[in-house]
Amino acid sequence: MESLGAAILAFVVSAALVVVAGIGLARFGDELAEKTGWGSLWVGTLLVGIATSLPEVTVNISAVWLEDAPSLALGNVFGADMMNIFVLALVALAFGATKVCGNQGRDTRILIVLGVGLVAVAIVLGASGDLKLGPTSLGGLLIAAVYIGGMRIVYQAGRTDMDLADIPRPTGRARRAWIGFGISALVVIVAARYLAASADKIAEISGISASFIGVLLVSIVTTLPEGSVTVAAALRRSYGIVLGNVYGSCAFNVFIVPLADLFHTKGPLLGTMESEHFVAAGTAFALLSMGYLIVKGCQFSAFVWVRILTPAIPVIYLVGLYVVFVLGQS
């Protein structure tokens, strides 16, 4: 990939493979949940959430391990969170914020707070420079602890409100779904290697910062599986899945930082954060928080005024992108 044209071609082909395989992961993950009887359980939701986030996992590990491009990885993490809330806002505008965000359970609200909190932890640790601890870092350990502990609380909240009669029974053999899931995962892993390499090459040849490439191009590609699930769930009026998928993916995206940290041997991954990363992370924090306020506004009359924030989310997303681009070029 010595020329910009070759790098762009490699990016487009690998991006297409990641998108197709990512959608396959979501489809077969959903089928597994049904076949195994996990349908309405938190475990089923976790499986699909991780499945749709697998492109981010593989791209970020490839970026720090094989391409030595931590800026690309961090840009992808925070850019993916920005993109997820951007898509959620578009869905809320299309279907109605009250329909999408109203009537949500306590477990969903806790999940939203977890997503906001994880981004805040990443910003604080990034600003401090973080501290390397063997193969990982203080920030990586803290993020992992918050994520695992938070998801346990989400699970317990969901179980508390669950009617045992709602737990589905297995509907058939899951062998075909497991095979499809495995093949899709393999395609994502292989294609993501070239996606990271081509994105890094595009940044190098074009002079555009790797941070901006991660925040814009790579994040758009890697969040397409989540976006497709979000839109499909909204069309089915499964608004609980919409919020669970978006905020579950946002939380897991930050959890990718300690995973990628294991492959970054030059110090803490969060310690490499630059000004454009802080802008992307700050924008993600603002968008996630606005989403939480909108949910509150749709559930409690005292907060009804915050629904007007819905159309502001796409504007703030675009402003954040522009600032990241300007800082990356300076």
pTM value > 0.85: no
Other CB atoms closer than 10 Å to residue 180's CB: what's the count? 17
- pLDDT attached to residue 157: 78
pLDDT for residue 164: 46
pLDDT on residue 257: 93
Q: What is the pLDDT of residue 259?
A: 92
pLDDT one digit per residue (tens) for the chain, 330 residues: 568 888 889 888 888 887 787 777 767 776 776 676 554 445 445 666 677 777 788 888 888 887 788 888 898 899 999 999 999 999 999 988 888 887 777 788 888 999 999 999 999 999 999 998 888 899 999 999 999 999 889 878 766 655 544 445 555 677 888 888 888 878 877 887 787 778 778 877 887 777 888 787 778 877 877 777 777 778 877 777 778 878 888 999 999 999 999 998 888 999 999 999 999 999 999 999 998 888 888 877 766 777 788 899 999 999 999 998 888 776
How many angstroms separate the CA atoms of 143 and 145, rounded?
5
The Cα 5–Cα 17 span in angstroms is 18
Q: Look at residue 41 in the predicted model and tell me its pLDDT.
A: 45
Residue 148 CB contacts under 8 Å (≥ 6 apart), including other chains = none
d(CA 116, CA 293): 11
